Structures are given as structure tokens and as C-alpha cells.
Amino acid sequence: MRKGRFAKGMYDSQTPLNAAVSARDRNVMTMVKEAVAHKQTMLAYQPIMVAQEPGRVGFYEGLIRIMDETGRIIPAREFMGSIETTELGRDIDVLSLGMGLEALHKHPELRLSINMSARSIGYERWMHTLKQWLRKDESVGARLILEITEGSAMDQPEVTANFMDRLSRKGICFALDDFGAGYTALRHFKDFLFDVLKIDGQFCHGIANDLDCEALVKAMVSIGRHFDMLIVAEGVERGEDAARLTDLGVDCLQGYFFGAPSIRPAWIFGEAPQKQATGRRA
């Protein structure tokens, strides 16, 4: 009897835990909707460094931020999980793209990656934003990198591959984000046109003292090399990890060891971005 009540509680959609999760998601959705409606969105820019040339920026990643009603800046990890599969997630993709393209237009020396979900492929407003900026300034396409997560790409592999083929003709590059964190069907991998491979930070953090992570990163670097991809290690927070990743053949390094995302990088105020690398296909 007691076991039956326990089992029922586990699967009852009205359990206190499920109710709390639902309430949290509703609150997050409301917060993001309000921020979008009042144009309280911005990009925070994080440098991605050239591994073999200390101090040289390869490119920047533009990370979406929103401002809540108290004026706090909220990072994407606090809300994307709740909205990514909704229409609001597409709206955020459109805003990210628009702000990124505007930054590229205003700063001709800038190279920038912007995150997007495969769900935004074919979304009319997203494509309209891209086409509008390409008509205004053709140079932004060649300096734009679109980051698609591993899991998102695998949701619709054929659609994603076709989308990448079309946009790569306009000079746009693509990065496979969070590689190793999700599930990649390797039979689809060769069909994609990714220019950049970003190794998930869970494999990079502490790698200087972790032989298992080292073996996995070596394998990922080998895959990236075979497909002529520029390889970025994410989540680098220690100098010894940066050194080991460089020894393993990683091209670029990203993480708090080099700089936190900033909504006010120096180049926004007129100082030119640091000299940036062109990489391989990127």
C-alpha cells in the first residue's frame, strides 16, 4: 500500500516537485517575454584566444543576456533551458543575430560567433534579419560564425546540412558547439559543413590532471583535423589546462582564464578589436 502511494507520487504530474518546476518555468518565460517586449536584451562578448599566440584574439562569441525588472543582467544558462523549444526561443535567436550583425557592421575588424538553434532554420524572421543585413553590408557574412549545438544539429541533420550548404555560399562559417556533450551520429558528421569544432568544457576543465579527458580530447582533435576544422577548447579556467590543450593541438582557447563575457568590451567604445586570426576554414 505504501509502495503504491509512493509509486503514484513519482508519476503524478501534480507532485510538489513538478508543480515547482512548472512554476519556475512560467516565471522564467514571463521574465524573458518582458525583457524582449521592452528591448532589455544585449550581447556579452567573450574572447576566443589563439592557442599558439598568447594574447591574440581569434574571434569573439556574442552571448545573449537579458535584464530583469530589477536591472540584473541574466545570462542565457538561466533561461535558455526553459525557452529553447518554444517560439520565444526563436525570438531570442532573432535578437541575437540582429545584435551580432549590427556589431559586425559597426566594427569592420570584428569577427563574431552567434548561437542559434536548429529550430530557427527556415524561421522567416530569422532569415529576414540575415538577408536585411547582408543587403546593407555584404562584409558581415564573411565575418559571421553561426554556432549550433551538437544536440540541436542532430535533431534535424538533413535540414541542418542543407541550411549550412546554402549559407556557406555567402561566406558564413559554422561552429559545432558543445562537441562531446550530446549525441552525434557520426554517419551524419561528414555531411555537415562545420568549419569550427568547439570541445565541450567538461572535457577541458582539469585536463592537465585527468588522463581520461586527455584521451577523449585527443580523439576529438583527431576528428577535427580530419575534417579540416578549427578546434576550440571551451571552459578553460586554469593556465595548466590551457598549456595542455595547446600541446594536444587545440587551435583556440575560450574561458574565464582569458576573460569573462562582457557587455562593454573596449572596442565598443571606439578601440579597435585586437588583431584576429583567420584560422583554417574559419
Q: Is residue 281 part of a domain?
A: no
Distances (CA, A) of 95 to 67, 116, 273: 14, 10, 22
- In this prediction, residues 75-94 reach a mean pLDDT of 85
Q: Is residue 96 part of a domain?
A: yes
Whole-structure pTM value: 0.85
- In this prediction, residues 100-109 reach a mean pLDDT of 96
Residues 6+ apart with CB under 8 A from 58: 48, 49, 50, 111, 230, 232, 251, 252, 276, 277, 279
Mean pLDDT of the chain: 86
pLDDT number for residue 81: 79
DSSP-derived letter for residue 3 is H
Residue 201 CB: number of other CB atoms within 10 A? 17
Q: Is residue 17 part of a domain?
A: no
**Total residues found in the chain within this entry:** 282
Residues 6+ apart with CB under 8 A from 116: 93, 96, 97, 126, 146, 147, 148
Rounded to whole angstroms, the Cα distance separating 280 from 282 reads 5
| H/E run at residue 37 | helix 16-37
CB 97 within 8 A of CB 129: yes
Please state which of the ranges 19-28, 161-170, 220-229 shows the lowest mean pLDDT: 19-28
DSSP-derived letter for residue 274 is P
Please state which of the ranges 4-8, 69-73, 88-92, 260-264 shows the lowest mean pLDDT: 4-8
Please state which of the ranges 16-25, 170-179, 250-259 shows the lowest mean pLDDT: 16-25
- In three-state form (DSSP H/G/I as H, E/B as E, the rest C), the secondary structure along 55-87 is CCEEEEEEEEEEECCCCCEEEHHHCHHHHCCCH
Q: Is residue 210 part of a domain?
A: yes
- The residue segments making up the domain with residue 95 are 39-269
- In this prediction, residues 182-203 reach a mean pLDDT of 83
Q: Is residue 5 part of a domain?
A: no
Q: Is residue 230 part of a domain?
A: yes
The amino acid at residue 279 is: G
CB 29 within 8 A of CB 88: yes
Closest CA to 64 of 133, 104, 127, 115: 115
CB 192 within 8 A of CB 161: yes
Instruction: Tell how far CA 236 is from the center of its chain.
Output: 15
Q: Is the pLDDT higher at 76 or at 209? A: 209
Please state which of the ranges 17-26, 54-63, 176-185 shows the lowest mean pLDDT: 17-26
- What is the CATH classification number for the domain harbouring 158? 3.20.20.450
Give tens-digit pLDDT for 125-137. 999 999 999 999 9
Q: Is the pLDDT higher at 235 or at 33? A: 235
Distances (CA, A) of 49 to 52, 152, 277: 9, 26, 9
CB 85 within 8 A of CB 100: no
Rounded to whole angstroms, the Cα distance separating 74 from 78 reads 7
Burial class (CB in 10 A: 0-12, 13-18, 19+), 71: exposed
The dihedral formed by the CA atoms of 201, 204, 206 and 211, expressed in degrees to the nearest 10: 140
Q: Is residue 34 part of a domain?
A: no
Q: Is the pLDDT higher at 109 or at 282? A: 109
pLDDT number for residue 107: 95
Give tens-digit pLDDT for 221-262. 999 999 999 999 999 999 999 999 999 999 999 999 999 999
Q: Is residue 244 part of a domain?
A: yes
pLDDT tops 60 at residue 169? yes
Q: Domain tally for the chain?
A: 1
